Amino acid sequence: MMKKMLSFIAAFLVLGGALFADVTVKDLGDGNAEVTFVFKGAGTEVLLVGDFTDWQNGAIAMTKTDNGFEYKKTVPLATTLKYKFIVDGTWHLRCQVPR
């Protein structure tokens, strides 16, 4: 029983860690902000979708970097963005984003 429990916990940690994302916001001082999305997980193609891309229809291919996959966007400071990631064709609805 203990072995099954440890296997479950290990699988949960591996899967949870595979879906980690960072979002940073930098005030540009002109009423705009630069938003940087970083997806830190496995995949060969990561797309960013959201209310600012008409969801899947305007999906943005993220750039592979040393930190994972990255995309930067400039928006007015008061903007709220809703977004998700599509990794190798699969939607990821629950990424862990630090607050």
Residue range of the domain that includes 29: 2-92
- Confidence bin at 10 (pLDDT 50/70/90): very low
Instruction: Report yes or no on 7 lying in a domain.
Output: yes
Instruction: Report yes or no on 99 lying in a domain.
Output: no
pTM of the prediction? 0.73
Instruction: Report yes or no on 97 lying in a domain.
Output: no
CB 34 within 8 A of CB 25: yes
Domain count, the chain: 1
Instruction: Report yes or no on 45 lying in a domain.
Output: yes
Instruction: Give strand pairing partners of 23.
Output: 37
Instruction: Give strand pairing partners of 71.
Output: 37
CB 83 within 8 A of CB 43: no
Residue 24 pLDDT exceeds 80: yes
CB neighbour list of residue 18: distance below 8 Å, 6 or more residues apart:
41, 42
Each residue's pLDDT tens digit, 32-51: 999 999 999 889 999 999 99
